[in-house]
Amino acid sequence: MESHIKEIIARVLNVALDRITDDLSSGDIPEWDSVGNLAIISTLEQELEIEFPLEDLFDLTSVKSIVEEVEKITNV
Amino acid sequence: MFDAPHSALLCNILRHAINTPDKIALVEGDNRVTYAQLVTNIDQAARLMLASGLGPGDRIVLAALKELPFVYYYFAAHLLGVVNVVVDASSPRERLDYITSVVKPAALFGSGVYHVEGIPCHDFSWQDASEVKPDECTWPHVASTDVADIMFTTGTTGAPKGVCLTHDNIAGSASNTNGFIGTCSDDVEALALPLSHSFGLGRLRCVLSVGATLVLVGNFANLKSFFNILEAWHVTGFGMVPAIWQYIKRLSGRRIARFADQLRYIEMGSAALPVEDKRLLMELFPNTRLCMHYGLTEASRAMFTEFHTHSGNLETVGRPASALVEASVRDDDGNPVDDGVDGEICVRGNMVTGSYFLPEDNEDSFYGDWFRTGDWGHRDPAGDFYLTGRKKELINVGGEKVSPAAIEDAIRSLGITDCACIAIPDPNGVLGEVPKAFLQKSDNQPDIEEIKQQLSRLLPPHEIPVQWEWVDLIPRTNSGKIQRLKLKQ
């Protein structure tokens, strides 16, 4: 699941997969701006058929936090 | 120390360096720069430029990286009469190559990510500056009416247009804006807007011109980090575009309201903001000046409105920003029309450009000294202006102006027989407008996903259409012009 999420993030931001490290945060690279962040959220929701709770969106600030949140939602 | 009588902005910064030398002017990460240090660094950057042979009238392409040296070089160029061509270095290479080919720069600065063969490239490494001796040097004569900056904006035909702004223009805009908003030297502003845009660069000038403190923030993507900066620096003001407000609202709900007591002002602009959002902002920030500007790169902050003082009329884009700015609604012959009658909004004043860089771009852009905005609207008898449409066919994606012609060219280059793009409301309600593409059907037509994938190599993400539709024929006039209105219906 973790590698799949990273692949999606890399594809949405149009960057190489090896740049999507655990500690990479929104705003760290130009591609991950506010529009990129929204695109990541909506693409993950669509492709993984999940819905992030609104109250959790504020805390989804890094690759690690996104992976943890998806795993929490999907009970992986 | 330098003297810069041609630049009211530099004169103001110098005055702050003398009166409040230890006041923090800029913050970037762990770095703090006082006004005294700012002036010293501008002085050193200017000497570096002089040493590399740059002088009045030379043009440099300056990558708008949100780093301290950008600020030094930007103002150093003003000091020397060197013209800044400020670019977003992450723009598509075709745009950067076009700009470079048009302005023929003497050098590129901040070019770690952008090199052009045959043009000297300097990065922003600042240790070089310490080696420059503060020896005697003669500062060139520069006039306040000389061009200070050239900002490239999106042209309707697809080719970017260079907007020439004089020292008087940019100082005038800062003065008008500070006068309306009421920014003062006690303020601390967080700047998360891009410096490659008129809005963000304007905020930099406004804050330093008034002697306040500016905290440079990468962008708004990480709201948690942005909120931490608001708290840590006790920020009193910031600027945002409507798309960012939608982003803040979506990701953080009402959390931002906890800063209501410390925020003295928020400046908004670059695109329309729905009235319900204006009401929500008024509710969340009852004591904050909520200032929204109407303007263009060519006429920065032409008009302003403040939501609380104009609470009975939130539809207006406001009134001219200061007594030095005039706005007028004109018909197709350039004659003023009566109040209540729609026409093209035209502006003139201290901040309005006198010309584009290429003479051909000036055609149809002015009625005498009145700049034609390309926006349609009217004025009411009280003097408030309203927008009702747009003559120019640009698509406003979250404040980024996108030329439909540029998208169409890219799509056609993929072998599509014919196509047309229009603006549609963003289905997600965030970006305001987004592009929709109509493609003319043909034999062996490719898959939309395939087209999108190929386009991602040609266009930045915000220019890729979000809706697609195959049609039998793209409607065109007898002269071959796309009839976009028909497609909108």
Residues of B in contact with A32 (CB under 8 A): 221
Lowest-confidence region among B173-187, B254-268, B445-459: B445-459
d(CA B308, CA B285): 10
Residues B365 and B477 placed together within one structural domain of the fold: no
pLDDT for the residue B402: 86
Please name the residue of chain B whose CA is at the shortest distance from the CA of residue A53: B251
pLDDT tens, position by position, A40-63: 998 999 899 999 998 899 999 999
Residue A56 phi, psi dihedral angles, 5° rounding: -95, -15
| Residue B135 belongs to a domain | yes
Whole-number percent of chain B with pLDDT over 90: 70
Q: Write the CATH number for B436.
A: 3.30.300.30
CATH code of A2-74, in short, is 1.10.1200.10
Size of interface A-B (CB pairs under 8 A): 56
CA distance B159 to chain A (A): 24
Q: What is the mean pLDDT of residues B294-317?
A: 96
Q: Is the pLDDT of residue B329 over 90?
A: yes
Residue B217's SS3 state is coil
pLDDT for the residue B336: 97
- Which member of B218, B224, B428 has the closest CB to residue A59? B224
- A18 touching B (Cβ < 8 Å): no
Residues B318 and B463 placed together within one structural domain of the fold: no
pLDDT tens, position by position, B470-488: 999 998 877 677 887 788 7
Whether the Cβ atoms of residue B401 and residue B431 lie closer than 8 Å to each other: no
CB within 8 A of B480, min separation 6: which ones?
Answer: none
| Residue B2 belongs to a domain | no
Give whole-number Cα distances, B88 to B63, B113, B241, B271, in Å: 6, 10, 17, 20
- Kindly report the three-state secondary structure assignment for every residue of B428-467: CCCCEEEEEEEEECCCCCCCHHHHHHHHCCCCCHHHCCCE
More confident residue, B162 or B121: B162
- Cross-chain residue pair B461–A35, CB shorter than 8 Å: yes
CA distance B416 to chain A (A): 24
Residue bearing tokens 């409040």: B20
Buried b (16+ CB within 10 A) or exposed e, B197-218: bbbbbbbbbbbbbbbbbbbbbb
pLDDT tens, position by position, B252-278: 989 999 999 999 999 999 888 989 999
- Cross-chain residue pair B220–A34, CB shorter than 8 Å: yes
CA distance A67 to chain B (A): 16
pLDDT for the residue B3: 84
- Cross-chain residue pair A35–B250, CB shorter than 8 Å: no
- Which member of A28, A35, A58 has the closest CB to residue B224? A58
d(CA B216, CA B213): 10
- A27 touching B (Cβ < 8 Å): yes
- A76 touching B (Cβ < 8 Å): no
pLDDT tens, position by position, B181-219: 999 999 999 999 999 999 999 999 999 999 999 999 988
Q: What is the mean pLDDT of residues A22-38?
A: 89
Residues of A in contact with B110 (CB under 8 A): none
More confident residue, B24 or B119: B24
Residues of A in contact with B428 (CB under 8 A): 38, 42
CA distance B148 to chain A (A): 27
Whole-number percent of chain B with pLDDT over 70: 95
Residues B427 and B373 placed together within one structural domain of the fold: no
Q: Is the pLDDT of residue B330 over 80?
A: yes
Residues B300 and B402 placed together within one structural domain of the fold: no
pLDDT for the residue B134: 55
Residues B361 and B416 placed together within one structural domain of the fold: no
The interface pTM score, or ipTM, of the predicted complex is: 0.85
Q: Which helix (H) or strand (E) holds A63?
A: helix A63-74
- Cross-chain residue pair A58–B219, CB shorter than 8 Å: no
B138 lies in which domain range? 8-377
DSSP conformation class of B128: G
Look up residue B328 and give its amino acid: S
DSSP conformation class of B264: -
| Residue B450 belongs to a domain | yes
Q: Is the pLDDT of residue B323 over 60?
A: yes
pLDDT for the residue B485: 75
d(CA A8, CA A70): 12
Q: Assign B332 a pLDDT band (cuts: 50, 70, 90).
A: confident
CA distance B219 to chain A (A): 6
- Cross-chain residue pair A58–B456, CB shorter than 8 Å: no
pLDDT for the residue B124: 75
- A34 touching B (Cβ < 8 Å): yes
- Cross-chain residue pair B218–A61, CB shorter than 8 Å: no
Residues B157 and B238 placed together within one structural domain of the fold: yes
pLDDT for the residue A19: 94
Which candidate, B302, B355, B2, places its Cα nearest to that of B145? B355
Tally of structural domains, chain B: 2
- Which member of B219, B225, B430 has the closest CB to residue A33? B219
Residues B413 and B311 placed together within one structural domain of the fold: no
- Which of residues B377, B411, B434 is at a domain's end? B377
Q: Assign B11 a pLDDT band (cuts: 50, 70, 90).
A: very high
| Residue B250 belongs to a domain | yes
pLDDT for the residue B394: 81
Whether the Cβ atoms of residue B298 and residue B170 lie closer than 8 Å to each other: no
Residue A48 phi, psi dihedral angles, 5° rounding: -100, 0
Residues B189 and B147 placed together within one structural domain of the fold: yes
Give whole-number Cα distances, B14 to B18, B85, B147, B173, B425, in Å: 6, 24, 21, 19, 46
Residues B341 and B465 placed together within one structural domain of the fold: no
Residues of A in contact with B456 (CB under 8 A): 14
- Cross-chain residue pair A27–B250, CB shorter than 8 Å: no
| Residue B267 belongs to a domain | yes
pLDDT for the residue B136: 61
| Distance, first Cα to last Cα, chain B | 62
Residues B372 and B421 placed together within one structural domain of the fold: no
Residues B315 and B407 placed together within one structural domain of the fold: no
- Among left, alpha and beta (phi > 0; psi -120 to 50; other), residue B80 is alpha
| Residue B368 belongs to a domain | yes
pLDDT tens, position by position, B47-86: 989 888 999 999 999 999 899 999 999 999 999 999 999 9
- Cross-chain residue pair A61–B222, CB shorter than 8 Å: yes
Q: Write the CATH number for B217.
A: 3.40.50.12780
pLDDT tens, position by position, B396-428: 888 788 888 889 989 989 989 899 999 999 888
d(CA A71, CA A69): 5
- Which member of A14, A38, A61 has the closest CB to residue B247? A38
d(CA B450, CA B456): 10
Tokens of B186: 């006690």
- Cross-chain residue pair B224–A38, CB shorter than 8 Å: no
What are the boundaries of each domain within chain A? Answer: 2-74
- Which of residues B345, B377, B409 is at a domain's end? B377
Residue of A33, A46, A64 to mutate, testing the B interface (most B Cβ within 10 Å of its Cβ): A33
Residue B427 half-sphere exposure toward CB, CA atoms < 13 A: 6
Residues of A in contact with B250 (CB under 8 A): 38, 57
Residue A24 neighbours by CB distance under 10 Å: 19
pLDDT tens, position by position, B367-402: 999 999 988 899 999 999 999 877 667 888 887 888
For the whole prediction, is pTM greater than 0.80? yes
Tokens of B110: 């901040």
Lowest-confidence region among B39-43, B322-326, B454-458: B454-458
- A56 touching B (Cβ < 8 Å): no
CA distance B96 to chain A (A): 17
The mean pLDDT value of chain B amounts to 91
pLDDT for the residue B135: 61
| Residue B77 belongs to a domain | yes
- Cross-chain residue pair A27–B461, CB shorter than 8 Å: no
- Cross-chain residue pair A38–B430, CB shorter than 8 Å: yes
CA distance A25 to chain B (A): 7
Q: What is the mean pLDDT of residues B432-437?
A: 92
Residues B366 and B403 placed together within one structural domain of the fold: no
| Residue B179 belongs to a domain | yes
Residue B376's SS3 state is strand
